[in-house]
């Protein structure tokens, strides 16, 4: 069973123009589905959560409810968050202060912190972080909780994480997921201008390059033809002359694209010696022509006869 949730729209960062152009309409991202453990909250588990009581005593390491794990790898804390049983979740968090239980990952490698961000519960995010949840743990896509907040445009969860992780902030902001994207890259891809601005203010490297292609935030904005984002990145100090690993500056990516305003914005700022396409592009075209000629040369060969 797939459950898609987007809560508290007034606390979400939406770039409506970019969202509409990319998705046709606003919708939750399939990668953030909550299909883990949704059907596994049976009566027995509900009973166990309901019987939890908060005491002033320090929690014991051998509490039996910490050993309960569903077929999806979810603990009672995962389930309480998934099913929005907030009071029970708060009780469990209080009983597990600085306990490894808080950082258990389910079979999608989601921690309770990941799930709290996905269902837009900034209160639980704050309680988890203050109780010892690790903000650097990554899910099966390599995303930390902050990656998810940036991907979903959650201003509330973004604010809670960054405010409560000052000593981890540099590491969290620069952390790469398995696609090679840091939080700034994700905010740019989704078109969340406010988050882009906040990340840069917090010290994110605006010219950080993806490890696979070498694209910067500005390259991504041009790829997505997001004029508003291109303008804001330029205002924030993005380097127009930074080349990706193919030797292309952001301006080169305007070739064959329809937005003339983006082309003009970048042309005026790009170094004169970088305004022409790299020679490698021409060489590649020549090679493609040569290959085509060779194919035509042998087009009388028949296979499978």
Which one has a higher pLDDT value, 271 or 296? 271
State the pLDDT at residue 276: 87
Neighbours of 82 (CB within 10 A): 27
pLDDT per residue as tens digits for the range 13-34 = 645 344 444 433 333 444 554 5
Instruction: Return residue ranges of the chain for CATH 1.25.40.20.
Output: 1-185, 212-281
Q: Is the pLDDT of residue 172 over 60?
A: yes
For the domain covering 212-281, report its CATH number: 1.25.40.20
Q: What is the pTM of this model?
A: 0.77
Q: Is the pLDDT of residue 7 over 90?
A: no
Sign, CA dihedral 85-87-88-94, equals positive
d(CA 228, CA 237) in angstroms, rounded, equals 15
Q: Look at the chain and count its residues.
A: 305
Torsion (CA) 256, 259, 260, 265 in degrees, nearest 10: -110
Q: Is the pLDDT of residue 11 over 90?
A: no
Q: How much is the average pLDDT of 117-134?
A: 98
Q: Is the pLDDT of residue 67 over 50?
A: yes
Contact by Cβ (8 Å): 190, 149: no
Q: How much is the average pLDDT of 121-137?
A: 98
Cα 88 off chain centre by: 28
Q: Is the pLDDT of residue 129 over 80?
A: yes
Q: Is the pLDDT of residue 302 over 90?
A: no
What confidence tier does 303 reach under pLDDT thresholds 50, 70, 90? very low
pLDDT per residue as tens digits for the range 243-291 = 999 999 999 999 989 899 999 999 999 999 998 877 655 443 433 333 4
pLDDT per residue as tens digits for the range 176-189 = 999 999 999 999 99
d(CA 18, CA 126) in angstroms, rounded, equals 30
For the domain covering 1-185, report its CATH number: 1.25.40.20
Label residue 100 exposed, middle or buried (CB < 10 Å: 0-12, 13-18, 19+): exposed
Contact by Cβ (8 Å): 202, 166: no
State the pLDDT at residue 102: 98
- Residue 266 makes CB contacts below 8 A (sequence gap 6+) with 222, 230, 240, 249, 250, 251, 254
């Amino acid at each position: 069973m797939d459950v898609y949730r987007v809560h508290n729209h007034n606390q979400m960062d939406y770039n409506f123009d970019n969202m509409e152009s990319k998705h046709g309409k606003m919708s939750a991202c399939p990668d953030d589905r909550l299909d883990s453990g949704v059907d596994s909250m049976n009566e027995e588990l509900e009973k166990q959560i309901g019987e939890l009581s908060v005491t002033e005593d320090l929690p014991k390491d051998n509490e039996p409810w910490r050993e309960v794990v569903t077929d999806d790898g979810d603990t009672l804390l995962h389930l309480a968050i998934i099913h929005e049983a907030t009071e029970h979740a708060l009780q469990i968090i209080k009983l597990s202060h600085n306990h490894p239980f808080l950082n258990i990952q389910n079979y999608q490698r989601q921690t309770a912190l990941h799930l709290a961000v996905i269902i837009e519960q900034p209160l639980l995010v704050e309680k988890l972080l203050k109780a010892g949840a690790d903000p650097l743990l990554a899910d099966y896509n390599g995303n930390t909780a902050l990656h998810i907040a940036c991907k979903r445009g959650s201003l509330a969860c973004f604010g809670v994480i960054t405010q409560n992780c000052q000593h981890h902030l540099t590491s969290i902001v620069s952390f790469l997921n398995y696609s090679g994207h840091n939080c700034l890259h994700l905010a740019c891809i989704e078109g969340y201008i406010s988050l882009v601005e906040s990340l840069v203010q917090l010290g994110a490297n605006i010219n950080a390059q993806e490890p696979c292609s070498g694209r910067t935030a500005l390259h991504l904005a041009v790829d997505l033809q997001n004029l508003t984002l291109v303008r804001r990145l330029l205002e924030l100090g993005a380097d127009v002359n930074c080349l990706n690993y193919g030797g292309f500056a952001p301006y080169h990516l305007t070739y064959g694209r329809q937005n003339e305003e983006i082309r003009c914005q970048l042309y005026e700022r790009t170094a004169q010696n970088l305004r022409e396409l790299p020679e490698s592009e021409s060489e590649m075209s020549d090679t493609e022509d040569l290959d085509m000629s060779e194919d035509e040369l042998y087009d009388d060969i028949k296979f499978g006869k």
